[in-house]
Chains A and B, each alone.
Chain A
Amino acid sequence: KNQVEQSPQSLIILEGKNCTLQCNYTVSPFSNLRWYKQDTGRGPVSLTIMTFSENTKSNGRYTATLDADTKQSSLHITASQLSDSASYICVVRDNNAGNMLTFGGGTRLMVKP
């Protein structure tokens, strides 16, 4: 069964600090992995997408990494801002599953001043 596990479940950091969120998956065959940001009361919005051949991808202060061998991904947030407070969801597409995705449970990040 395809699974996506995220850690930690929640995280509190001070504004300006860096943090790293983890995602482990068992989805196979792998197609791609997205990190979504979900602000409170809103729908998820895609931050990055990574395919099998990509090791790292940046989007501003967000940098995602992918190790397809160990089936792990991370999302690193640099110089955190209050607006980074949100849930971050790791989503993996199965190459055989058409448009169906496997969602992680998310990491709830709170950035405090």
Chain B
Amino acid sequence: DAGVIQSPRHEVTEMGQEVTLRCKPISGHDYLFWYRQTMMRGLELLIYFNNNVPIDDSGMPEDRFSAKMPNASFSTLKIQPSEPRDSAVYFCASSPPAGRLSSYNEQFFGPGTRLTVL
């Protein structure tokens, strides 16, 4: 298995531009998470999906951020318009279906997208 795939790995853009980050979860996983990591704040959960449905988006910083999961194998995180304070590493993670031992479910992280907004 290739693991969680994210693209692009690096993105440099100018303030005001639209940015789209992409994620392909591990096949068979039905939970998908988007995180943001900065030196100051560490890892922060932005939003997570279960079976393609957004379950909790309370971590999405503001209306400039939106996330979609049109099918089980693809998700996007969009920032429009981008601002310099959005510069961070964005991680996508997935985990398998909840079961009897669902509390043990490990989240498998992708390699991240390093976003720089100038």
Interface residues of A (CB under 8 A from B): 31-32, 34, 41-46, 49, 51, 89, 93, 95, 98-101, 103-106
The 3 A-B residue pairs with the shortest CB-CB distance, nearest first, are A43-B109, A103-B43, A105-B42
Contact across chains for B95 and A99 when beta carbons are under 8 A apart: yes
- The residues of A that contact B106 with a CB separation of less than 8 Å are 34, 46, 49
Contact across chains for A100 and B111 when beta carbons are under 8 A apart: no
Contact across chains for A43 and B112 when beta carbons are under 8 A apart: yes
| Complex Cα gap A45–B33 (Å) | 15
- The residues of B that contact A44 with a CB separation of less than 8 Å are 43, 91, 109
- The residues of A that contact B112 with a CB separation of less than 8 Å are 41-43
Partner of A98, one of B43, B44, B55, B111: B55
Which B65-115 residues have C-beta < 8 A from chain A? 91, 93, 95, 98, 103-107, 109-112
- Closest Cβ of chain A: how far from B43's Cβ, in Å? 4
| Complex Cα gap A43–B94 (Å) | 12
